[in-house]
Amino acid sequence: MTTILVDQDLCTWCGICSVVCSMGVIDPADENTLPKVQEAKAGICIRCGHCEAHCPSQALLVNDRPDEKVPLPAGAGTIAPGEMGFYLKKRRSVRHFTKDPVPKEKILEVLENTRYAASGGNGQPVEWIVVHDPKNVQKIAGLTIEWMKTLVNSAHPMSGYLPVLIGAWERGNDVICRGAPHLLFATIPEGNPIAVTDAIIALTHFDVAAPAYGIGTCWAGFVAMAASSYEPLQKELGIPAGRKFAYAMMFGNPQYKIYGIPRRKMLAVSWL
């Protein structure tokens, strides 16, 4: 299969596609030929799309579902630095949610953004499990508490703190999922040593994009620790064979709005 498709009427022979190619497989155009990927190099292409994205005249397409290409409108995605700064600084870990569910359609919109998260070798290894039913979220929180009970009086670093969490839960205080109506689990292939980082990058995309849709998020650390080792919770999630859990995030409609920006540590930078 041809690796790239080039429209000879649009190509300006600028050579940018060859320069930006992540794998260096695109032969530059000359006065007689268009840019091309030789058959011997085709298997090296990771279909990252750098060549297509950087083509000024949009003459080039990666031959990967080319019929699905969506034009990038002029100026689309441009955010003023000041606005970006305020947007990121407003981001909070939400621990108080309304009982109103987030529609599945909106969740899919946010997850659509995560498809474009960076991944090693453009492997795109992350798949998702969305726990949408609040009753199932509470079941998972309960299984996390069960996991904690197995660690009391053990050598686990959290051992001394666990009775406080377990006691709060038994008094009706959801210290695990904070009343979040939904949970998001990232799964990755077994045996892929870099996929766990890819999952964190993808989850961060979700975390950053969610507030634009009115969704609040919080990294679900207790659930993540339990899901990494507690078999009953792993079975509850129904992770497909050949895949494993990477990390979890709770989310929902935030109960309270943000009106200010708290302080953070001073920036620490070393220049070499």
> Which whole-number Å values give the CA distances from 235 to 58, 241, 270, in the listed order?
47, 11, 46
Q: Please write the tens of the pLDDT for every residue from 243-262.
A: 999 999 999 999 999 999 99
DSSP H or E stretch at residue 85: helix 81-90
pLDDT at 75: 87
pLDDT at 138: 97
Q: What is the pTM of this model?
A: 0.91
Secondary structure letter of residue 77 according to DSSP: T
Of the candidates 14, 105, 111, the one whose C-alpha atom is nearest the C-alpha of residue 55 is: 14
- Is the confidence at residue 20, as pLDDT, over 80? yes
State what percent of residues in the chain have pLDDT above 70: 100
Q: Is 113 helix (H, G, I), strand (E, B) or coil?
A: helix
Q: Please write the tens of the pLDDT for every residue from 56-109.
A: 999 999 999 999 888 888 888 899 999 999 999 999 999 999 999 999 999 999
pLDDT at 160: 87
Judge whether 96 and 178 are in contact, CB under 8 Å.
Answer: yes
| Higher-pLDDT residue of 129, 33 | 129
**Residue 106, phi then psi, degrees to nearest 5:** -70, -40
**Beta-ladder partners of 182:** 251
Judge whether 127 and 114 are in contact, CB under 8 Å.
Answer: no
pLDDT at 231: 95
CATH of region 84-252: 3.40.109.10
> Which whole-number Å values give the CA distances from 239 to 135, 230, 271, in the listed order?
19, 13, 44
Handedness of CA 144, 145, 147, 148 (dihedral sign): positive
Q: Please write the tens of the pLDDT for every residue from 169-204.
A: 999 999 999 999 999 999 999 999 999 999 999 999
pLDDT at 102: 98
State how far the Cα of 142 lies from the Cα of 148, in Å rounded to an integer: 10
- Is the confidence at residue 1, as pLDDT, over 80? no
Mean pLDDT of the chain: 95
Fold of 4-68: Alpha-Beta Plaits (3.30.70)
Residue 83 CB coordination number (10 Å): 9
Which pair of tokens denotes residue 222? 């207790």
Domain residue ranges of the chain, discontinuous segments joined by +:
4-68, 84-252
